[in-house]
Amino acid sequence: MRTRPLKVALLGCGVVGSEVARIMTTHAADLTARIGAPVELAGVAVRRPSKVRDGIDPSLVTTDATALVKRGDIDVVVEVIGGIEPARTLITTAFEHGASVVSANKALIAQDGAALHAAAEEHGRDLYYEAAVAGAIPLIRPLRESLVGDKVNRVLGIVNGTTNFILDAMDTTGAGYQEALDEATALGYAEADPTADVEGFDAAAKAAILAGIAFHTRVRLDDVYREGMTEVTGADFASAKRMGCTIKLLAICERAADGGSVTARVHPAMIPLSHPLASVREAYNAVFVEAEAAGQLMFYGPGAGGSPTASAVLGDLVAVCRNKLAEATGPGESAYTQLPVGSMGEVVTRYHISLDVADKPGVLAQVATVFAEHGVSIDTVRQTGKDGEASLVVVTHRAPDAALSGTVEALRNLDTVRGVASIMRVEGE
């Protein structure tokens, strides 16, 4: 057992950072035994130095994060500041000065993961970020290491707790979107500005990271198709229930059937109640992985929160410290397949379309013709009507998204179609 401690610089001491520091202190003896050397908190960079921080030695606190990462005696930098800058520059500076990095920063990894991995490799350091996707749930390491001998074909997940809480509340209590969002905000599940969550930006960043790792290719944030969940209504849930489904905001990363490309997307979708993801309640996260040899795997747990996220950070910290002692590095970026990322138009799935139509003879035939003309095969049709107006619900077989878009455009041009009330993809069947 080495007695000289490994030195850790903590950048950020907020929701996650304060829990990382607490666990490092309370579990110090266990961490020492598991790593094979003691770990010492050597500095804590924050924005507001005068803030009282329980359990943190005030002499360690600094506002000069750059000087901290440049010290030269730091073994591991834990970046839990968030955002792009100064986190990006601090991480690259850390590599240049001999430290490995553990980060929880999904936005940064999704945007600049390739460059950061290259910088880590150039300097012979580690870059680990288990906490960046789905909080406490082990996902990056299982994909990077446990499943590295298999072929992952699909990753389908609920990776944003805020939106899952809102959709779950809408489903179970009948609340509207705004009411459910207000409840999520009051309970601390939604931020004052919920845009990143409800518009799917947070989930899209996670989808980019997961797709890159799962398919050993590079998937940039811009490659991820994204739709938020603010338009989901009570009527959509009623339709979903009639089909034996519920609605979730899903991140879906898929290998194309011919294996020649991949796609990554985030949007609300109906999934059958029999699917394991349908029973993921409240703010929990879950990710369903389909691999050729392993079959179907499900990873489930708390996707955010200080303590759960710190658990993932600490797991990475131990791994990186062990690598450091072994004078080795863990797996870096694996992007050798160089698979192109397909557009949303290439995605093949099923659709549930609600139309407001004129209640007169021949409308159904007209609508069916438009679907046929665009090569979209209809599975079921349900029509309800009164007082000259009718509602038509069409569920399709699997079809390319581009074909469905063309169908909807043509439907909007029919005199007998008063409006397209909703279009929802149906997944997980």
Ligand X SMILES: NC(=O)c1ccc[n+]([C@@H]2O[C@H](COP(=O)([O-])OP(=O)(O)OC[C@H]3O[C@@H](n4cnc5c(N)ncnc54)[C@H](OP(=O)(O)O)[C@@H]3O)[C@@H](O)[C@H]2O)c1
Return the residue of 17, 113, 200, 315 that touches ligand X, per CB under 6 A. Answer: 17
Which window, 146-154, 193-201, 301-309, 329-337, contacts ligand X (CB under 6 A)? 301-309
Q: C-beta of 318: minimal distance to ligand X in Å?
A: 18
Interface with ligand X, residue 264, by CB under 6 A? no
The crossing angle, in degrees rounded to 10, of helices 177-186 and 161-173 is 120
CA angle 162, 168, 171 (to 5 degrees): 145
Q: C-beta of 10: minimal distance to ligand X in Å?
A: 9
Interface with ligand X, residue 105, by CB under 6 A? yes
Q: Which residue among 206, 248, 360, 386 is the active-site one?
A: 206
Q: Which two tokens stand for residue 226?
A: 């994204």
Interface with ligand X, residue 251, by CB under 6 A? no
Taking residues 164 to 203 in sequence order and writing x for each that binds ligand X by CB under 6 A, - otherwise, the string is ----------------------------------------
Q: How far is CA 60 from CA 11, 53, 74, 77, 301, in A?
A: 11, 11, 13, 14, 33
Q: C-beta of 60: minimal distance to ligand X in Å?
A: 13
Q: What are phi and psi of 94, to 5 degrees?
A: -60, -45
Interface with ligand X, residue 116, by CB under 6 A? no
Interface with ligand X, residue 301, by CB under 6 A? no
Which window, 74-82, 93-101, 405-413, 421-429, contacts ligand X (CB under 6 A)? 74-82
Q: Is residue 113 within 8 Å of 333, Cβ to Cβ?
A: yes
Chain position whose Cβ is nearest to ligand X: 14
Q: DSSP 3-state assignment of 147?
A: coil
Q: C-beta of 34: minimal distance to ligand X in Å?
A: 23
Q: How far is CA 305 from CA 157, 197, 214, 302, 319, in A?
A: 18, 15, 25, 8, 22
Taking residues 52 to 71 in sequence order and writing x for each that binds ligand X by CB under 6 A, - otherwise, the string is -------------x------
Interface with ligand X, residue 74, by CB under 6 A? no
Which window, 6-14, 122-130, 147-155, 280-288, contacts ligand X (CB under 6 A)? 6-14
Closest CA to 243 of 156, 149, 354, 142: 354
DSSP H stretches of helix in 187-242: 195-198, 201-215, 234-242
Closest CA to 420 of 372, 346, 362, 351: 351
Residue list 307-336, contact with ligand X (CB under 6 A): 309
Q: Is 7 a catalytic residue?
A: no
Q: What is the C-alpha separation between 125 and 100, in angstroms, rounded?
A: 5
**Closest CB to ligand X among residues 312, 403:** 312
CA 159: distance to chain centroid?
A: 4
Residues in the chain, total: 429
- The contacts of residue 25 (CB under 8 Å, 6+ apart) are 41, 55
Q: What is the C-alpha separation between 48 and 61, in angstroms, rounded?
A: 9
- The contacts of residue 247 (CB under 8 Å, 6+ apart) are 167, 170, 171, 232, 236, 237, 240, 268, 269, 270, 271, 424
Which window, 10-18, 21-29, 319-327, 364-372, contacts ligand X (CB under 6 A)? 10-18
**Closest CB to ligand X among residues 81, 399:** 81
Q: C-beta of 58: minimal distance to ligand X in Å?
A: 13
Closest CA to 268 of 285, 247, 237: 247
Beta-strand pair 100-103/127-128: parallel
**Closest CB to ligand X among residues 45, 363:** 45
Interface with ligand X, residue 12, by CB under 6 A? yes
Which window, 25-33, 209-217, 304-312, 339-347, contacts ligand X (CB under 6 A)? 304-312
Return the residue of 22, 36, 40, 86 that touches ligand X, per CB under 6 A. Answer: 86
Interface with ligand X, residue 14, by CB under 6 A? yes
Q: Is residue 110 within 8 Å of 85, Cβ to Cβ?
A: no
Which window, 7-15, 29-37, 171-179, 387-395, contacts ligand X (CB under 6 A)? 7-15
How many residues lie near ligand X (CB under 6 A)? 25
Footprint on this chain of ligand X (rule: CB under 6 A) = 11-17, 45-48, 51, 65, 80-82, 86, 104-106, 131, 135, 304-305, 309
The catalytic residues are: 206
